[in-house]
Amino acid sequence: MNKLIRLVDGLPVIESADPTLAIVPLAQWQAGEGLLLGPDDDVESLQPLLADVAMIAIDFPSFRDGRGYSQAYLLRRRLGWQGELRAVGDVLRDQLSHMRQCGFDSFAVRADKSVEDAVKGLAGVSVLYGRSAIEPRPLFRRR
């Protein structure tokens, strides 16, 4: 199993995933476990559960499926989720900066890809015109 990239105080750390933590889909989820969300899951209905969720993993069935970005944004900005938010599935270097901007703080890079290499994708471009989960003020309020 591939290692994880985690952001610790905003800086990437490569570490092994905790093998004892169960990450299960919503239908099977029980308090204390990690919650695995598919792109069809409605994040806004999760509010009552969040206090008992260990962490949230959002699945990208394909890196071209962008629903996970909006799910992450909503979890962070609207539901106030402060815990770990992990991108899993088709997670690739060139999308990591967008994922980070949308509030992900851990990344399970696809197993056939080098994690050390993928870390380079986190930086992206330094300019964000609009706003994001981690920078809610658009550039025109920071310019």
Partner 1 sequence: MYEYDDYDHALVHERVAQFRDQVQRRLSGELSEEEFLPLRLQNGLYMQKHAYMLRVAIPYGTLSAEQLRCLAAIAREYDRDYGHFTTRQNIQFNWIELEQVPDILARLAEVQMHAIQTSGNCVRNITTEAFAGVAADELLDPRPLAEILRQWSTVNPEFLFLPRKFKIALCSAIEDRAAIQMHDIGLYLYQGDAGQMLLRVMVGGGLGRTPILSQQIRDGLPWQHVLSYVEAILRVYNRHGRRDNKYKARIKILVKALGIEAFAAEVEREWQHLKDGPAELTDTEYQRVASAFVPPAYESLPVVDLEYGSHLAQHLGFERWVQRNVKAHKVPGYASVVLSTKPGAALPPGDVTSAQMEAVADWAERFGFGEIRIAHEQNIVLPDVRKRDLFALWQAACEQGLGTANIGLLSDIIACPGGDYCSLANAKSIPIAQGIQAHFDDLDYLHDIGELSLNISGCMNACGHHHIGNIGILGVDKNGSEWYQITLGGAQGQHAALGKVIGPSFAAEQVPQVIERIVQTFTDYREHQERFVDTVQRIGLEPFKERVYRTQEVA
Tell me which residues touch partner 1 (CB under 8 A): 63-67, 69-71, 73, 78, 92, 94-95, 97-99, 101-102, 117, 124-132, 136-141, 143
Nearer to partner 1, 1 or 143 (CB): 143
Cα angle value 105/15/53 (rounded, 5°) = 50
Nearer to partner 1, 2 or 132 (CB): 132
Question: Smallest gap, in angstroms, from Cβ of residue 20 to partner 1?
Answer: 32
- Rounded CA-CA distance 45/37 in Å is 12
Question: Smallest gap, in angstroms, from Cβ of residue 93 to partner 1?
Answer: 9
Report which of 13, 37, 7, 32 is spatially closest to residue 116, judged by C-alpha positions: 13
Nearer to partner 1, 22 or 50 (CB): 50
Q: What is the CA radius of gyration of the chain?
A: 15
One DSSP character per residue, 77-89 reads: IIS---S-EEEEE
Question: Smallest gap, in angstroms, from Cβ of residue 30 to partner 1?
Answer: 27
Report which of 31, 7, 32, 26 is spatially closest to residue 87, judged by C-alpha positions: 7
Question: Smallest gap, in angstroms, from Cβ of residue 111 to partner 1?
Answer: 15
Nearer to partner 1, 73 or 107 (CB): 73
- Rounded CA-CA distance 96/87 in Å is 9
